[in-house]
Amino acid sequence: MSAQALIEQIAQLSKEAQLKIVSVQNEADLAEFTQSYAGKKSALTQVMKQLGALTPDDRSLVGKSANEYKEALQHLLTAKESELLKNKFALLKETEFVDLSINPPHYAELTTDFSESGHIHPISATQQKLESIFTSMGFTIVDGPQIENDYHNFGALNFSDDHPARDMQDTFYTQTGHLLRTHTSTIQIRALSQMKPPLRIIAPGRVFRYEEIDASHEHTFYQMEGMVVDRRVSVGNLLHLMQTLLAEVFESEVDVRLRPGYFPFVEPGFELDMKCLVCSGAGCSVCKHSGWVEVLPCGLVHPNVLKSAGLDPNEWQGAAFGLGLNRLVMMQYGIEDIRHFMGGKMSFLRQFGN
């Protein structure tokens, strides 16, 4: 067969492939299509077997045409793979969605004890309550990744590379240099770069630290960070907001105290403690026998943090605070050991089903 005939045959294959790929609807169809037009037994392979009978110049012409065909075919395959993947995820809601809050259809056949039905975890319930309180005060809920980079977790929050405060938030690192976030302040940095002040935001989520585990410390726990940025923000504004929040959470006035605390991203910084509700201030393992529990580090946003977000600290001021949701739940329910949350004991979780 002449070179021109082989080139025309390749051109015909290209047209057929473009028409045929439209009918590909799933991964099985795509695999069959690939074998038909690019596999070892495809028509193209039969064409290439005839190159040995051609002159060097003709082989070059046919080879060039075959390479152009392969390149065009690869573009078709890549586009179709992307389309199928997009469609697959679009259909997940209909094909694989499971509402875990509803008992399965055969549940009644498995047990007659309907007290075993699921319920919201106490930390989730507290988070939802806090979100409701804050949104009623004009706050916006924002979210961010749990696997972070050093800049958002430390650098943008005024931690230098050799800052000793990094030791206070030792965490877990990946081989790529990423880390599990140690606080949800990382979300505040992302929000500052995307939202224009004035703003009020809260950032709930799971955080991780390399902690020495005891009754009041865990390596995995939940926080809710908050930030207010406006032209004039004072410590008085911050304290009033915190007192209002705790009164709403516990549905009564609570005893609190404010003492100096150091955090690189606020200046001045404070530790807001509340009287331990587990022991009523008498002293227990939760409050380390002090009668007080640290629940809310807070302070005015450090000028360097505002600068890192492109804001002029002479024009804008901010207040930030962080709630430990685990400890807050412990105060609400009188839980004496934070390790219960990660223990996975059904006897512990069943207490919150009513």
Average pLDDT over every residue of 332-353: 80
Phi/psi for 310 (5° steps) reads 80, 20
Average pLDDT over every residue of 53-64: 80
pLDDT digits (tens, 9 = 90+) for 140-174: 999 988 888 888 778 777 676 665 656 666 777 88
DSSP state of 212: -
pLDDT digits (tens, 9 = 90+) for 184-201: 888 888 888 888 889 999
Which stretch of DSSP H or E encloses residue 25? Answer: none
Within 13 Å, how many C-alpha atoms sit on residue 179's CB side?
Answer: 21
Most confident among 127-141, 144-158, 316-330 (mean pLDDT)? 127-141
Per-residue pLDDT at 101:
66
Residues 6+ apart with CB under 8 A from 217: 211, 338
Per-residue pLDDT at 19:
86
> Is the pLDDT confidence value at 112 over 80?
no
**Two tokens at 42?**
């495809």
The CA distances from residue 93 to 81, 82, 87, 117, in Å, are 20, 19, 11, 23
Please tell me whether residue 16 adopts helix, strand or coil conformation: helix
Contact 218, 335 (CB under 8 A): no
Output Rg (C-alpha) for the chain, integer angstroms.
31
pTM reported for the whole predicted model: 0.60
Residues 6+ apart with CB under 8 A from 345: none
> Is the pLDDT confidence value at 225 over 70?
yes
Average pLDDT over every residue of 306-332: 87
Percentage above 90 pLDDT, the chain: 9
Average pLDDT over every residue of 91-99: 72
Contact 181, 146 (CB under 8 A): yes
Average pLDDT over every residue of 326-330: 85
Residue of 282 and 103 predicted with greater confidence: 282
pLDDT band for position 102 (50/70/90)?
low
Could you check whether the bond before residue 105 is cis, i.e. omega within 30 degrees of 0?
A: no
Residues 6+ apart with CB under 8 A from 47: 6, 9, 10, 13, 62, 66
Per-residue pLDDT at 217:
76
Helix and strand element counts for the chain (H, E): 13, 9
Homologous superfamily of the 122-352 domain (CATH): Bira Bifunctional Protein; Domain 2 (3.30.930.10)
pLDDT band for position 231 (50/70/90)?
very high
**β partners of residue 179:** 148, 173
Average pLDDT over every residue of 51-65: 79
Per-residue pLDDT at 47:
75
Per-residue pLDDT at 165:
58
Within 13 Å, how many C-alpha atoms sit on residue 142's CB side?
Answer: 23
Most confident among 26-40, 134-148, 233-247, 318-332 (mean pLDDT)? 134-148
Per-residue pLDDT at 354:
59
Per-residue pLDDT at 14:
84
Per-residue pLDDT at 202:
93
> Is the pLDDT confidence value at 92 over 80?
no
Residue of 238 and 103 predicted with greater confidence: 238
What DSSP assignment string belongs to 1-15?
Answer: --HHHHHHHHHHHHH
Could you check whether the bond before residue 198 is cis, i.e. omega within 30 degrees of 0?
A: yes
Contact 262, 269 (CB under 8 A): yes
Average pLDDT over every residue of 91-107: 68
d(CA 318, CA 235): 10
> Is the pLDDT confidence value at 352 over 70?
yes
Per-residue pLDDT at 167:
61
Average pLDDT over every residue of 3-32: 84
> Is the pLDDT confidence value at 250 over 60?
yes
**Two tokens at 292?**
């007080």
d(CA 127, CA 72): 52
d(CA 295, CA 293): 6
Per-residue pLDDT at 293:
81
d(CA 191, CA 203): 9
> Is the pLDDT confidence value at 181 over 80?
yes
Per-residue pLDDT at 86:
85
Q: Is the dihedral of CA 83, 85, 88, 92 positive or negative?
A: negative
**Two tokens at 326?**
């685990």
Least confident of 115-129, 158-172, 202-216, 246-260: 158-172
**Two tokens at 141?**
């809920």
- In 302-333 the beta strands, taken as DSSP E runs, fall at 317-324
Per-residue pLDDT at 228:
93
Per-residue pLDDT at 116:
57
Per-residue pLDDT at 330:
85
Mapping DSSP onto H, E and C, the string for 83-123 reads HHHHHHHHHHHHHCCCCCCCCCCCHHHHCCCHHHCCCCCHH
Domain range list for the chain: 3-95, 122-352
Residues 6+ apart with CB under 8 A from 294: 271, 272, 273, 324, 327
